[in-house]
């Protein structure tokens, strides 16, 4: 039977299907799009937090290394920077003073210092000879009580023995440079050079 009021039934249904399938605007972003973009942002924030942490670790290590360097920690253990000089080979040597700074030797000296045997010292400043034991401890010479001859000396040299007693009442500080020896005692510093026979 002919129906003039619905001439095209199928195209109408087809148009309806197309309209439904294209109902979502093209510019609308998918719901999952923000989720995929978040991980890079989180990684960026983590890297910003790790940066200062790494810098702090590097600085702390530098301070620790400097501390090690300043305290002298090595294979031999812990010590202070600027180690004391090695024990000198004094045995068999004799030195005579050339310069005295501070309290001068009565009578002009000179001060003569000899080391006749291991851990032994002898001193004379123009009058009696003083002998005793000594011990080298780094840059210090520690002398025991000195024994001396009992010769009487005239004039200013008579006070030379008292000068030695005062000079050696505390441990002597020694420095050796080449053939020269420097002794620093109470009130005086003496530069001596080695004698050669």
Per-residue pLDDT of the chain (197 residues; tens, 9 = 90+): 445 444 444 444 444 444 444 444 454 444 544 445 555 555 444 444 555 445 444 444 443 333 333 333 333 333 333 334 445 688 899 999 999 999 999 999 999 999 999 999 999 999 999 999 999 999 999 999 999 999 999 999 999 999 999 999 999 999 988 889 999 999 999 999 999 86
127 in a structural domain: yes
67 in a structural domain: no
Alpha-carbon distance of 96 to 151, in angstroms, equals 21
> How many domains are contained in the chain?
1
CATH number at residue 158: 2.40.128.270
Question: Which of 156, 166, 152 lies closest to 106 in space, CA to CA?
Answer: 156
79 in a structural domain: no
- 32: tokens are 């999952």
Expressed as residue numbers, the domain containing 109 is 93-195
152 in a structural domain: yes
3-state DSSP of the chain: CCCCCCCCHHHHHHHHHHHHHCCCCCCCCCCCHHHHHHHHHHHHHHHHHHHHHHHHHHHHHHHHHHHHHHHCCECCECCCCCCCCCCCCCCCCEEEEEEEEECCCHHHCCCEEECCCCCEEEEECCCCEEEEEEEEECCEEEECCCEECCCCCCHHHHHHHHHHHHHCCCCEEEEEECCEEEEEECCEEEEEEECCC
How big is the chain by its Cα radius of gyration, in Å?
A: 48
147 in a structural domain: yes
13 in a structural domain: no
- Residue 178: per-residue pLDDT: 84
- Contact between 105 and 187 (Cβ < 8 Å): no
84 in a structural domain: no
Q: How many CB atoms lie within 10 A of CB 155?
A: 9
165 in a structural domain: yes
Report yes or no on whether pTM surpasses 0.85.
Answer: no
């Amino acid at each position: 039977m002919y129906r003039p009021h619905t001439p095209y039934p199928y195209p109408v249904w087809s148009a309806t299907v197309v309209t439904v399938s294209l109902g979502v605007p093209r510019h609308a972003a998918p719901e999952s799009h923000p989720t995929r973009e978040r991980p890079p942002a989180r990684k960026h924030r983590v890297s910003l937090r790790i940066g200062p942490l790494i810098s702090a670790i590097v600085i702390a290590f530098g301070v620790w290394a400097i501390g090690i360097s300043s305290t002298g920690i090595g294979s031999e253990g812990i010590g202070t920077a600027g180690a004391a000089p090695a024990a000198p080979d004094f045995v068999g040597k004799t030195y005579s003073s050339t310069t005295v700074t501070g309290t001068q030797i009565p009578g002009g000296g000179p001060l003569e210092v000899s080391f006749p045997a291991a851990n032994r010292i002898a001193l004379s400043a123009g009058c009696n000879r003083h002998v005793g034991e000594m011990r080298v401890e780094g840059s210090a010479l520690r002398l025991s009580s000195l024994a001396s001859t009992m010769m009487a000396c005239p004039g200013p040299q008579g006070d030379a023995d008292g000068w030695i007693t005062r000079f050696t009442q505390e441990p002597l500080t020694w420095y050796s440079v080449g053939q020269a020896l420097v002794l620093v005692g109470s009130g005086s510093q003496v530069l001596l050079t080695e004698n050669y026979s």
